[in-house]
Amino acid sequence: MTAHRPRIFAVGGWRYEPEWLVDEFRENLAWVDELVIVDDRARTGELWVHEGDYRLMQRQALIDAGIRPWDWVLVTSPDERWGSRAKRVVRGLITKRHRRIFQFPLREMFTLTSYRTDGIWGDKWRPRLFPFLPDQEFTKGSIQTPPSPVEGGYERVRVPHVPIYHLENIAPASRIERAIVYEALSPGSQQRAARSAFWRRHDPTGRYIRAYGYAYLADTRGMRLAPVPVGDIVPRPTRPYHFRVPDELLVAECGQNREELTRWFHTTLARGPERFRRRRVR
């Protein structure tokens, strides 16, 4: 029996993003065979979907859309844009059947035309492309977990010339919102990161998440930016996306209100590095 031509099924979730952002997301991914959007806007009683549950939701949505073994899954989000080379390069990666997970550089946009490159920001990679196969296992973690299969038997390959541009950090208020939402979902991020072997590898200078926890997401001190090549994002971003969650869901998640979480953010940025240096001197 002749093997079918592999197809690309992009999948992403829709929760807090405005409709115009999703429309531009569809335009950016017009080159994939199928774009599957898991519409989670009706789930209004909780701040975030547990990522372990969300992977199962994604997989079922892909099955419902007609995906078959050895089609390929491209995991993404409405607040991301794939660089202009993605269509040609990604098509070339899937011509043969192989158990590979492809990783792409994540470029965090801090203005409409530039992305951040200093320290941890310049070395973010995301595993986003893998073959759809029966009985794949995914993370059971709650937040900030990889969307690719976690079982063994896959070769991991970096694709440096196809960036993913992330738009959520363009608006300064959205950076703070992102930080406090993650802290609400996983309190004590600064203390955990400071003693984490994973973050010692990925934040070797200790000046980012190891010093500040999730508050580092909105800290612009020492920021270096690089311009997005002209024409690399289609459609071109023309306005920032403002991320904000309902106040009552923050309280329901962690028992703290927006004012308290915002105070945590400013206090952590003010004293994080000093506390981190004292810890290293001892």
Question: What is the model's pTM?
Answer: 0.94
Q: pLDDT tens for residues 46-70? A: 998 888 888 999 999 999 999 999 9
Rg from Cα positions in the chain: 19
- The answer to whether 12 and 37 have CB atoms below 8 angstroms apart is yes
Give Cα 224 distance to the centre of its chain. 20
- Using CB atoms within 10 Å of the CB of residue 129, give its burial: 0 to 12 exposed, 13 to 18 middle, 19+ buried: buried
Mean pLDDT of the chain: 93
Which percentage of the chain shows pLDDT scores above 90?
87
CA trace torsion 183, 186, 192, 193 (10° rounding): -60
